[in-house]
Homo-oligomer: A and B are copies of this chain.
Amino acid sequence: MLENIGRHCIIGQNVEVGENVKLGHNCIVEDDVKLKDNVFIDNNVIIRRGAEIGKNSYIGSNCIIGEYQIVTCGDRKNMLPHLTIGENALIRSGSILYGGSSVGDNFQTGHQVTIRESSSIGNHVSIGTLSDIQGHCVIGNYVNMHSNVHIGQESLIDDYVWIFPYVVLTNDPTPPSDYLQGVHVYPFAIIATGSVILPGIQVAGDSLVAAGAVVTKNVQEFEVVGGNPAKKISDVRNIRNKITGEDAYPWRFHFSRRMPWEDMGYMEWVNSLGDDEKKLFSIKE
């Protein structure tokens, strides 16, 4: 079945391969891996035992997919559940995804991304170069993280959240300790570059954490907070786009790339939803 395969590849037992799968050179595919139709694995990729990669997905060179959690040297008996990656993934070179997580459809990563075990990642999520998802997190749908974001364990990130470079979501109020409290970021919130969010903080929907903020208190809906420690400095509804002069927020009315309303605009998309969902997404422009 695997006809389009590079040189020096090593393929384990019981590997399931769909139609039109392509494998680059020097790949290592361990036992029980499942590669669905049209999967394209680039060079030097390692796919660990039992990992499942959805159709039309691309795995960049030097990636490790389904990495083992190494508790003690060589102990691979008490393995995590397998990694499952949905359809249409685009995982760029050098990334490491652990076993024991599930990733939805239309997933994208930059380079050298690390995603540890026991994470649940929804559909249409993008995680930038060098980002480090520490595991034991829940990440919703249509979440966008830019480069070099650090998501501590126990973080909860809702749908339609934006997180920009060098943001850290922390989790230990009195480090070092064994008592972790994750950050919760609500739908449509935006956390700008270089902000640190303290443990257990709630960042409410449609809020904006300004660049470089150190957030020590909960952020309310529509608030703009900034500074160290962060204080309320504005309301998102007061912010204009510098170039167009128009309102910039709530951003869902002004930005649609890779969003479900990409082809029709936000309000038309909301109006196309069922009544229950419509309530969830209703908001004054």
B7 touches A40 (CB 8 A): no
* Main secondary structure on A side of the interface with B: loop
A200 proximity list for chain B (CB < 8 A): 242
B190 touches A175 (CB 8 A): yes
A73 touches B56 (CB 8 A): yes
> Which bracket fits the contact residues of A?
35 or more
- The verdict on A249 contacting chain B, using a C-beta distance below 8 Å, is yes
A164 proximity list for chain B (CB < 8 A): 170, 175
A257 touches B111 (CB 8 A): no
Quick check: which of A78-86, A89-97, A265-273 contacts chain B, the rest being far away? A89-97
B96 touches A96 (CB 8 A): no
Q: What residue of chain B has the Cβ atom nearest to residue A211's Cβ?
A: B196
Instruction: Known contacts A10-B7, A132-B129, A193-B196; decide if A241 and B173 are in contact (CB<8 Å).
Output: yes
Write the residues of chain A forming the contact surface with B, with a CB cutoff of 8 angstroms.
Answer: 6-8, 10, 22, 25-26, 28, 38, 40, 43-44, 46, 56-58, 60-62, 64, 67, 70, 73-74, 88, 90, 92-94, 96, 110-112, 114, 129-130, 132, 134, 144, 147-148, 150, 152, 162, 164-166, 168, 170, 173-179, 181, 190, 192-194, 196, 198, 200, 211-212, 214, 226-229, 239-244, 248-249, 251, 254-255, 257
**Extra inter-chain contacts (19) besides given A26-B26, A148-B148, A174-B241, CB under 8 Å:** A22-B74, A25-B28, A28-B43, A44-B44, A94-B94, A96-B112, A110-B114, A112-B114, A114-B130, A130-B132, A162-B176, A170-B193, A173-B242, A174-B240, A177-B241, A178-B257, A181-B243, A196-B212, A198-B211
